[in-house]
Amino acid sequence: MFMGIDPGKDKCGVAVLTASGEIKFQRVVPTEELDTAIKNLATEFEIQAVILGDGTTHKAAAQKISAAGLTFQLVDEKHTTEEARREYWKKNPPKGWRKLLPTSMQVPPEPVDAIVAEILVKRFLSAHKS
């Protein structure tokens, strides 16, 4: 199992995926609760490694990961928000009048940080295929 974290100042996206990319957990958590979420997920799942986005707030998240006794790998976050927005609309197709507007012109009605965490793990897995 791999835990992905999209670190942020106020909230963090967290996802746990299998080596084949199956999502086992996905949620946005307040940044002040990240350490608890990491510890709980590490207890619930057998985490091989944490995949951490290399954004501006990654250093604080890295300390929390290390404090939980886990190792982490940094992954480039470039364009993950745009990719997560596209993925959001695939998973949640627009309804009503929103179907008339291209999804590229719409902002998802909820944070996509957890989808970014999923994308980070998938990037890592595709880069490390044997």
How many domains would you assign to the chain? Answer: 1
Residue 130 banded pLDDT, cuts 50, 70, 90: low
Q: Tens digits of per-residue pLDDT, 69-104?
A: 999 999 999 999 999 999 999 999 999 998 999 998
Q: Tens digits of per-residue pLDDT, 12-68?
A: 999 999 999 999 999 999 999 999 999 999 999 999 999 999 987 899 999 999 999
CATH number for 19? 3.30.420.140
Q: What pLDDT score does 128 carry?
A: 84
d(CA 120, CA 72): 12
Question: Residue 105 sits in which domain range?
Answer: 2-127
